[in-house]
Amino acid sequence: TCPYIKKIMCFLTNKDCNLCILPFTEKEKDPKYWNAGAQMTLKNALTLQTLNKNKAENLILFLGDGMGVPTVTAARILKGQLSGQSGEETQLEMDKFPFVSLAKTYNTNAQVPDSAGTATAYLCGVKANEGTVGVSAAAVRSQCNTTEGNEVTSILRWAKDAGKSVGIVTTTRVNHATPSAAYAHSVDRDWYSDNEMPAEALQAGCKDIARQLFENIPNIDVIMGGGRKYMFPKNRSDVEYPGVAKHSGTRKDGRDLVQEWIDKTKDKKGHYVWNKKQLLSLNPNNVDYLLGLFEPGDLPYDLERNSETDPSLTEMVEVAIKILRKNPSGFYLLVEGGRIDHGHHEGKAKQALHEAVEMDRAIGRASLLTSIHDTLTIVTADHSHMFNFGGYTPRGNTIFGIDADQKPFTSILYGNGPGYKLVNGARENVSTIDYQENNYQAQAAVPLSMETHGGEDVAVFAKGPMAHLLHGVHEQNYIPHVMAYAGCIGQNREHCLSRSGTAGLHPVLSTIATLFTVTRLLC
């Protein structure tokens, strides 16, 4: 029934041809199909000429760590194939956003960036050096004495100061590079607790990132992710993995940051949870503050997640929004699909892409819980990876499949990484191994113990109030300035005085009008 694919794929992979997908459907042979689709898209595009200039009561940033454009495309195909489609024609939730732009990701001292310097850009509005969070480029990595005076605040702080509720949800440690730039000022992203800091830095007064999570911005409303061990005294056994030394507490100062948080919020409808059952048993209407730490370190990959004990990113996002949206002044929420990056670093494309699909599910859930009329939602990445897929694979080829050659190779390849392998002086013949296994390390051109980031621009998807301001190609630090302008927070407030209740009156025009009026009065 599928002779072309049968010859190229089924024989090589020793798989039943029933698993193959036809290269294309019959309707795609008719030009009317493509013309009708294009006309519908054109009709929808014309409606965008009426711009949404409402004030954004709510601001949501979805950050796919390491989710470069090739990852987005491959995740789209995977999402379709998981639902029985060929995949290429599928729409991700982020694909439905009406505005798309590109962000330049370089750090001030690095052509190819890291997640710390980029987080400072898209959260604090200024570019910074690699390895540093919440400090300007005047700060030098690992040099504690360059911290003071170089701190920069984040949009999460601006939102909190404006009376909004704020939240952080991540699949990594809550004190990892991305979330930490929202609240911390650290010249080293690796200072998770005081255990990871050099003695001279502690003596000079620098604080570890876990401590800053609870001290820098009082009353962050929702915090969910991993990183439990950095909150407890050194060698204290973990509640979920008792007796496992690598999961025990790390703090040398003896502080129990979780208990301190519980004591502070017990009379303010505060709840601490560490597993899925506890999380989903909460009634969001009875919760004002939530701390959820579900693992000692990062959360497990979605493919390896225990669905009975570990919440998914989608489940965490739903609870977060239901708590935050109770505030009549609105909310700011940072959501990180952080383990996309980890999968790529390990050369495990299947893990990375399933993480991206799960983040897309969370985007869809957030869309159902909010309104495009008053919620600005942005989806982007901090940087890309040396990940790509190619060859001359037929339509519907499994994204984790192979291309036919004298010696078959996987469609997915890395420019560098741990997947580099030679067998008898030649590249490995992947048709002899299980290349669809969850932890298969895709072939790489250059041998490295860990695959690296990529330096190309990343996509920025936007919908909701003022989303049209994200267009063309911009510096990455432009993103929080747009969000602040839309939400009338931070330094962008003057335009919000418009009687219409929209955010459409530009500050420049307002200033000119004021000057003109004053000039007339003086004359």
- DSSP string across 413-458: EEEEETT--EETTEE--GGGS-TTSTT----EEEE-SS--EE-S-E
Binding site for Zn(2+), residues? 65, 341, 345, 382-383, 453
pLDDT digits (tens, 9 = 90+) for 6-62: 433 443 333 443 434 445 678 999 999 999 999 999 999 999 889 999 999 999 999
Distance of CA 113 to the CA centre of its chain: 15
pTM (predicted TM-score): 0.91
Which of the four pLDDT bands, split at 50, 70 and 90, describes residue 463? very high
Token duo for residue 297: 């370190």
Q: Where are the domains of the chain?
A: 4-46+391-446, 51-386+457-487
Backbone angles phi, psi at 132, to 5 degrees: -115, 150
Q: How many CB atoms lie within 10 A of CB 212?
A: 20
- Residue 518 above 70 pLDDT? no
pLDDT digits (tens, 9 = 90+) for 192-210: 999 999 999 999 999 999 9
Binding site for Mg(2+), residues? 65, 176, 178, 336
- Residue 72 above 50 pLDDT? yes
| Dist. CA 85–CA 65, nearest whole Å | 27
Between 448 and 49, the more confident residue is 448
Which of the four pLDDT bands, split at 50, 70 and 90, describes residue 454? very high
- Residue 498 above 80 pLDDT? no
Mean pLDDT of 69-93: 97
pLDDT for the residue numbered 137: 98
Binding site, residues? 65, 176, 178, 336, 341, 345, 382-383, 453
pLDDT for the residue numbered 13: 39
pLDDT for the residue numbered 431: 87
pLDDT digits (tens, 9 = 90+) for 393-446: 999 999 999 887 668 899 999 999 999 999 988 888 898 899 999 999 999 999
Residue 129 Cα distances to 2, 124, 156, 182, 189, angstroms: 53, 13, 21, 16, 11
| Dist. CA 500–CA 54, nearest whole Å | 9
Active-site residue list: 115
Fold adopted by 51-386+457-487: Alkaline Phosphatase, subunit A (3.40.720)
DSSP-assigned beta bridge partners for residue 491: none
Q: State percent of the chain over pLDDT 70.
A: 90
